[in-house]
């Protein structure tokens, strides 16, 4: 039955092969020749048991699993750790649907028969990857399918922060509609601007593609490796060091994963190297930014504004000092929060789990 459902995700948006990532169609074709073997394996003998760790995982993914497996689901919201650890015992696979720590505690509770895990996320900073590798458990994730939704939101944050949306709304709320001033609530132009990317993978490139319609001047990017020449030509992009990115960018978009090298790299030193008119957008991870230093940079107008979909910690306290500022737009980590995107994430995660169960390469492996 598995081959019948592989086609459900043919519309999933993937990154081009020239950027170093397989497209969705390539991902799906990669497993097509193995479907008969998977069907034989799954149809013979006892059905695999799979845990879905969140009750709100889209039905599209659960339906795929149910065709071949016995599915158990955590029912608590927020997820109760005790329920998760109880229900994970004895399962063969896990669709990890939230951001609960995936660590030795969970793996020990599952038992040695555990064969396959996939998250329903791009980032896996909540996963103890070395522990999974030590136990030789394959791990899948869902990075490419959320590029479109996250890129759309990033552009929205860039505009909202650059054009002072939050401050304008507060003016209305406080009966301070002062448009008799000619220079009231003036913001930053995207047109002819330099947009810098800290991280320029699939999501960064999707953002750059959208911003090209705003007639930006050029793209700068800081990454470990240079992207393909064709991509640089398409986006008028140039790889630069971090200091150059900070000094020359009118807008800076953080689109990097959280690692030991990226944690806290946007700190007071970095903010002091940015233009006073610069706008910072973070759709990567909250811990990449030193939030106390960002607060001071915004409060003192050392930089113009910020738009954040990720913060540290999450959830952010409603009394956090960052929320007292006029020149920051904060969203509750909703970059991939569209119905279509979440359904596609669940679909890919389900396929990852099924492939791992029968010893086949996952559609989207994390390592």
Average of per-residue pLDDT values in the chain: 90
pLDDT tens by residue, 216-260 = 999 999 999 999 999 999 999 999 999 999 999 999 999 999 999
Positions marked active-site: 333
pLDDT tens by residue, 100-151 = 999 999 999 999 999 999 999 998 999 999 999 999 999 999 999 999 999 9
pLDDT tens by residue, 189-209 = 999 999 999 999 999 999 999
* Same domain, residue pair 93 and 195: no
* Same domain, residue pair 153 and 95: no
* Same domain, residue pair 156 and 72: no
C-alpha to C-alpha distance for 318 and 89, rounded to whole angstroms: 37
* Same domain, residue pair 104 and 161: no
* Same domain, residue pair 299 and 348: no
What is the number of structural domains in the chain?
2
Beta-sheet strand order (sheet of 116-119): 69-73, 48-52, 93-96, 116-119, 139-140
Structure tokens, 74: 């955590």
Beta strand pairing call for 251-254 and 139-140: unpaired
Question: Tell me, what CATH number does 102's domain have?
Answer: 3.40.50.720
Q: Please tell me the predicted confidence (pLDDT) of residue 1.
A: 39
Q: What is the pTM of this model?
A: 0.86
Give the CA distances from residue 229 to residues 14, 23, 235, 238, 309, in Å, rounded to whole numbers and listed in that order: 20, 19, 10, 10, 30
- Work out the angle at residue 172's Cα, subtended by the Cα atoms of residues 166 and 174, and round it to the nearest 5 degrees: 100
Structure tokens, 4: 């019948």
Q: Is residue 65 predicted with pLDDT exceeding 70?
A: yes
Q: Which residues form the domain of 351?
A: 48-122+341-358
The DSSP-derived string for 252-268 is EEE-----TTTTT-BSH
């Amino acid at each position: 039955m598995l081959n019948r459902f592989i086609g459900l995700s043919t519309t999933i948006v993937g990154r081009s092969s020239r950027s170093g990532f397989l497209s969705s169609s390539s991902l799906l074709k990669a497993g097509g020749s193995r479907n008969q073997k998977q069907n034989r394996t799954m149809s013979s003998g006892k059905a695999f048991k799979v845990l879905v760790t969140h009750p709100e995982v889209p039905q599209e993914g659960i339906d795929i699993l149910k065709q071949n497996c016995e599915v158990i689901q955590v029912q608590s919201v927020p997820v109760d750790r005790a329920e998760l650890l109880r229900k994970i015992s004895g399962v063969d696979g896990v669709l990890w649907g939230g951001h609960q720590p995936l660590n030795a505690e969970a793996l020990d509770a599952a038992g040695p028969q555990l064969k396959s895990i996939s998250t329903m996320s791009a980032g896996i900073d909540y996963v103890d990857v070395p522990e999974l590798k030590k136990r030789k458990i394959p791990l899948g994730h869902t990075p490419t399918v959320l590029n479109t939704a996250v890129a759309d939101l990033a552009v929205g944050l860039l505009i909202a922060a650059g054009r002072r949306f939050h401050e304008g709304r507060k003016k209305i709320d406080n009966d301070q509609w002062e448009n008799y001033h000619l220079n009231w609530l003036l913001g930053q132009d995207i047109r002819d601007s330099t947009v810098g990317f800290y991280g320029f993978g699939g999501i960064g490139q999707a953002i750059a593609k959208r911003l090209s319609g705003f007639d930006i001047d050029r793209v700068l990017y800081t990454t470990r490796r240079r992207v393909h020449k064709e991509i640089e030509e398409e986006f008028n992009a140039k790889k630069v060091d971090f200091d150059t990115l900070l000094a020359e960018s009118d807008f800076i978009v953080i689109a990097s994963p959280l690692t030991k090298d990226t944690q806290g790299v946007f700190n007071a030193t970095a903010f002091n190297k940015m233009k006073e008119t610069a706008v910072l957008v973070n759709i990567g991870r909250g811990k990449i930014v030193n939030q106390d230093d960002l607060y001071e940079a915004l409060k003192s107008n050392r930089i113009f504004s910020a738009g954040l979909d990720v913060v540290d910690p999450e959830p952010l306290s409603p009394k956090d000092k960052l929320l007292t500022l006029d020149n920051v737009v904060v969203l509750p980590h909703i970059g991939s929060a569209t119905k279509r995107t979440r359904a596609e994430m669940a679909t890919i995660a389900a396929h990852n789990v099924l492939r791992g169960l029968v010893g086949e390469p996952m559609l989207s492996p994390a390592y």
